Structure 1
Amino acid sequence: MDEFDSLFAQGHALVEEQIWEKAIEKLEKAAKLDDSYSELWFDLAYAYESINYIRKAIQSYEKALKIEPDNIRILNNLANCYRKIDEFSKAEDCYNKIFEINPDSIIGWFSRSEMLKRKGDLEGAINGAKHTLELAEEKQEAYFLAASHYNLACYMTLNGKKELAKKHLQQAIDINPNLEQNARQDPDLQALNYFA
């Protein structure tokens, strides 16, 4: 195994272990030896994003995207970084590219609805979450079923549709009981008084 392979393998393992600073150190050294691997840039971006160095994460995701321009996972993570710094038009560009590649991308629709909520477009967020829910039901994706019901509960609570919100929250908890703890602390659900 050459030096690049060793550094990349160590960096990847450190990302898996969530030891972010050491992962960044190894991956940056590996990138100086060979910068042609999208997975290296993805891991580096993910590590930066995990310690909230969003601009550095964006730079690394963009380098990964130059190598693999149609990679939905890279596009989605890049969009999420743009969303975190309120650069909504750049995030929307990423989501549009995702939907060009796969109009039924569950992760794309899910993340886009979260962006629309952050942007203040509750109707758009609700519609996006409903579409995500339809896709999750069709593909039997339990994680996205629960998460979509949960997000719909949040969005509908914020939009004053409390009865529908309660139904969605109950469905989310029925699918994933661990969501109850989140719901008890989620400021978006406080007005629902679900657990009172």
Structure 2
Amino acid sequence: MISSYMEVDAASPKPTSAAPEPTPKAPEPPKDEYAHLPENQKLAKKAKILGNDAYKKKDFENALKYYNEAIEHDATDITFYNNMAAVYFEQKDFEKCISTCETGIEIGRENRADFKLIAKSLSRIGNAYRKMENWKMAKTYFEKSMSEHRTPEVKTILSEIDKKIKEEELKAYIDPVKAEEEKELGNDFFKKGQFSTAIKHYTEAIKRNPEDPKLYSNRAACYTKLAEFDLGLKDCEKCTTLDDKFIKGWIRKGKILQGLQQASKALNAYQKAIEIDPNNAEALEGYRACTMAVHSNPQETWQKAMTDPEVQQILKDPAMRMILNQMQSDPKAVQEHLKNPEVAGRIQKLLEAGIIQIH
């Protein structure tokens, strides 16, 4: 038979004798991690800890007081200057932040500080210049930091700063007066049939005034002459994005799409032009030409169109049937109906599907 004491937790056996309990040891006092340091460095480290505590509480005045105290005890430690610079940064005193970091770097190099600490100081200077929106100086110091110690964070910041510098350079280059001069030169070369040279001048005009839709439209005309349809289309899209009421942009886009044999898309461009000016002959002619191009095989087109649920829904709408009947009896009515964007969209869908034609 198994004895019952085996069921008791073996980790807690009862004493077999009446021996007295051992006296518990008193807890050891915490070790002084700075005990090995000279007295001045020990006092400096303790002052820094008090400064860090104050910094975390955003008690910046006391943080500065303790960091200064640390420097008084030991002026050779770069971390004290770096921490002090962090306070100035929080107080938005960026000039003091920079000068304190520079002092720290100089002292750090003299005392062979860890290159990571030097990099940290350089990054802090970069961040101060960044806050001041002095992008070129910020870039310089972040690059210096990377030369000491590469980190993904600084690499990302440098990429952002490069974008900012490019934006600033483009802004500084903007000059509408010079843009107009370049546009006129482009126009002169366009009239002479020198389209490549005209493109150079229109491109320079765009750099000088990138918000002017006419410049993109003019350059698109050059690209069209050179059969560079993709580039021309890109300029038309930019042009109509800048000003969706600029009718020349929509008409030019329609013509390029016709050149690319994309009649359905060209219809959309001409429709936009007609919405702006229902009587524009160029837009109406392009619209008719594209409509005819869409419908090469009427029977096949009709059968295919009737499988489209959207087409079926439009044809079931009594109001649309009335409009279609009116357009059939009075061809001029189409211009009136195209003024209504909702109706124009439905007519456009039927045109693209080949259900109706406009002559």
TM range (shorter): 0.5 to 0.7
Q: Residue 190 of structure 2 corresponds to which residue in structure 1?
A: 49
1:134 to 261, 275, 290: 275
Q: Does 1:75 align with 2:216?
A: yes
Query: Residues 90-129 of structure 1 correspond to what in structure 2 (within 5 A)?
Result: 90-129=231-270
**One-letter amino acid of the structure 1 residue matched with residue 225 of structure 2:** K
C-alpha contact (below 8 Å) 2:224/2:232 kept by paired residues? yes
**Which stretch of structure 1 is more off in the superposition, 93-102 or 41-50?**
93-102
Q: Residue 64 of structure 1 corresponds to which residue in structure 2?
A: 205
Q: Distance in 1 between matches of 2:234 and 2:285?
A: 26
**One-letter amino acid of the structure 2 residue matched with residue 40 of structure 1:** E
Q: Distance in 2 between matches of 1:102 and 1:43?
A: 21
Q: Residue 181 of structure 2 corresponds to which residue in structure 1?
A: 40
Q: Distance in 2 between matches of 1:122 and 1:116?
A: 7
**One-letter amino acid of the structure 2 residue matched with residue 51 of structure 1:** K
Higher Rg of the two aligned structures? 2
SS of 2:188 mapped into structure 1: helix
Q: Residue 31 of structure 1 corresponds to which residue in structure 2?
A: none
C-alpha contact (below 8 Å) 2:237/2:253 kept by paired residues? no
Q: Residue 151 of structure 1 corresponds to which residue in structure 2?
A: 286
Q: Distance in 2 between matches of 1:119 and 1:101?
A: 23
**Which stretch of structure 1 is more off in the superposition, 120-129 or 94-103?**
94-103
Q: Distance in 1 between matches of 2:266 and 2:194?
A: 26
C-alpha contact (below 8 Å) 2:229/2:259 kept by paired residues? no
Identity percentage of aligned residues: 20
Shift of 1:118: 1.0
Q: Distance in 2 between matches of 1:56 and 1:63?
A: 11
Q: Residue 87 of structure 1 corresponds to which residue in structure 2?
A: 228
Shift of 1:87: 1.8
Q: Distance in 2 between matches of 1:104 and 1:40?
A: 25
SS of 1:37 mapped into structure 2: helix
Give the TM-score of the pair, scaled to structure 1.
0.56
**One-letter amino acid of the structure 2 residue matched with residue 110 of structure 1:** I
Shift of 1:70: 1.0
* Ranges in structure 1 where 5+ consecutive residues have no aligned partner: 1-35, 172-193
Shift of 1:89: 2.5
**One-letter amino acid of the structure 2 residue matched with residue 95 of structure 1:** C
Q: 1:100 to 1:127 in 2, by over 3 A?
A: closer
Q: Which has the higher contact order (CA 8 A, sep 6+)?
A: 1
> CA RMSD for the aligned pairs?
2.9
Shift of 1:160: 4.2
